[in-house]
Chain A
Amino acid sequence: MNVPMFTLLVGIPLVSSPVVYLFGRLTTRAQVLTRQGWIVRLLALLAVAATWFPFINLWLEFQARGNRMFFNIESIWLQLDGISFLLAAMVLTLGTLAILFSGRYMAGDFGEEKYYAMLLAMIGLMIGLGCANDLFNLWVWFEAMAVSSYLLVAFYREQPGSLEAGMKYVVQSAVGSALALLGIALVLAQTGTLDMDQIRLMVGTMELNKLGLLAAGALFFIGFGVKVAMVPLHTWLPDAHSQAPSGISAMLSGVVIEAGLVAMLRALSTLTGFALSWGWLLLAFGALNMLYGNLLALQQSQVKRMLAFSSLSHIGYILMGLGIALVSGQPAGAQGAAFHLFTHMLMKGLAFLAVGAVMYALFHEQGIHRPLVAHDLNGISTRYPWVALSLSIALLALGGLPPLAGFMSKWQIFVAGFQSGNGWLMGFVIFAAVNSVISLAYYAPLVNRMYRRVTATSVKKGSDTIHWTMQLPLLLMALAVVVIGLFPSLMNWLTEPAGAALMSIFQ
């Protein structure tokens, strides 16, 4: 049987999801073979590792052809371009590491098999989302991904906090997706098609009802924007990201909101050239996100909630990079934004996983369930030096200290702004740089705390060691943050095609 590579890319995670679930039910609950959870964990890890195989194959083919590729699964046509590859690479990288990390973190939790099943499904759906070539198809992937993430956010269903967060997440996302659908309906009414390439062509050439298109644009912007967590649509994010299990927090902050961004960009790209450039709107929301995210992060005492607000501000940088690209018409900003998407995935994923490792050692192993506050980090370096080091690297990189990865991607965005020669764009860049300085005011004290000599009582009571399967992903990601910082050109293979693809859909 000759299965196309593309089918494997989306199919392996999606098919393994129910398989993992079934095996999990048989082993952990029905106890058919053994009561051990390791089968589930190993299966999940193998599934996500196997997905790399079609990814690499497709990448090589893409390199050879140098152009976007089309595939079909039955009657559904999908495309693979630079954006799809960027998203797939991000999802697979973080997905692999998060599953490896979760092995210990989630071990023995009630419903462990559901966790992996949903996580795998989410991974497959996000890869699919990046490949959609049809507005409605895009929405279906988007909605399916959202459903799997609802269940993961509210995974600790015995905890009021995660239920509350899950409820808000569901309702706000549902409102957003209804609005986005309405936008799609408006486009369908005018053009009679849902294929994005055809719509783009028709909007460019035919006389269509401008008002309808404007309304559709606004609906796309806001509808998909809820998932991107643009201020003021962001209100679900701090709750959801801080209440989810740490592996999921990493996925949500590192790739899910970015997947929402990809969906938004794909949808918006069909409607260009008839009104204000989308770039200015992206810039405005980007600036708002940065300032709001930073100021609120300053006020937080819970570490995960602070990281969630920091995600808001980082989405701001990404929006700014895209805005610069669209306003100036130069691919540099888009490439910078793509690079920042990737580095943010690494840094924020690392930060959430490292915080998760600390929570596991201090609380979960002791059977305690409470949020980690800044005070709990006091002196953790004395007990868990590697975790403290990786978390420090993540935080400093998020704060934009050179030569770590976070600075390099911001720098690429900043350079794009200044290369445009446009005074307004330069102003936005300066604003972003000042915001980076503000952000140090909450990152640096956390790092400082970790290296105190007087340790918090919760740290003294923590478990003695942290399992290597939890430390390994942290160290790998910390290493990546440093290496990509030292050699930023290493990521050009991924960011250049993504930037080019973004520019080509927004022509």
Chain B
Amino acid sequence: MTLFNVLIVTVACLLGVGLYGLLITRNLIKIVVVLQLLVKSVVLAFVVAGNVSGHPGIGESVAATIIVADTIVAVVALALAVQVRIRFGTLDIPKISSLRG
């Protein structure tokens, strides 16, 4: 198995774990963690894509930018989660879901 194949498999696994995690996780903080997993798989995918296409520079610079952008999103999400914990007293998703229908 080449390095390339290992990376592809890793991307797929991270992606799968991320999506699956989003379906079953019932805790807001954990949701944010799972989201990070999902995005990291994409970062890896860019590095691989850059190499496959013969333009590793593009892939790497994009990956770096995504990490920055994603950190901002994570910070916002965590800040919201903290507020949710303060106002609702819980991070359990069913308990904070009142808007429906």
Binding site for B on A (CB under 8 A): 136, 140, 143-144, 146-147, 150-151, 154, 157-161, 163-167, 170-171, 174-175, 178, 181-182, 184-186, 188-194, 238-239, 242-243, 296, 299
Contact = CB atoms under 8 A, between A and B. Distances in A.
Nearest to A153: B80
A239 B87 contact: no
Interface string B16-39: 001000100000100100010011
B83 to A, nearest CB: 5
B6 interface: no
A174 B76 CA distance: 11
Nearest to B84: A163
Given A147-B72, A191-B53, A243-B99, A175 B83 contact: no
A223 to B, nearest CB: 10
A239 B99 contact: yes
A163 B83 contact: yes
Ranked nearest first, the 5 interchain pairs of A and B with the lowest CB-CB distance are A192-B53, A189-B49, A185-B45, A188-B49, A185-B49
Contact of A144 (B35, B69, B96): B69
A160 B69 contact: no
28 contacts: A147-B73, A147-B76, A154-B83, A157-B83, A163-B84, A164-B84, A164-B97, A167-B28, A167-B77, A167-B84, A170-B77, A170-B80, A174-B38, A178-B18, A178-B39, A178-B42, A184-B62, A185-B46, A185-B49, A188-B53, A188-B55, A188-B59, A190-B53, A193-B55, A194-B58, A194-B62, A242-B99, A243-B99
B52 interface: yes
Nearest to B35: A174
B28 A163 contact: no
A171 B77 contact: yes
B9 to A, nearest CB: 15
A239 B96 CA distance: 13
A387 B72 CA distance: 40
A203 to B, nearest CB: 14
A175 B72 contact: no
Contacts of A238: 99
B79 to A, nearest CB: 9
A143 B53 contact: no
Nearest to B49: A189
B35 A171 contact: yes
Nearest to B55: A192
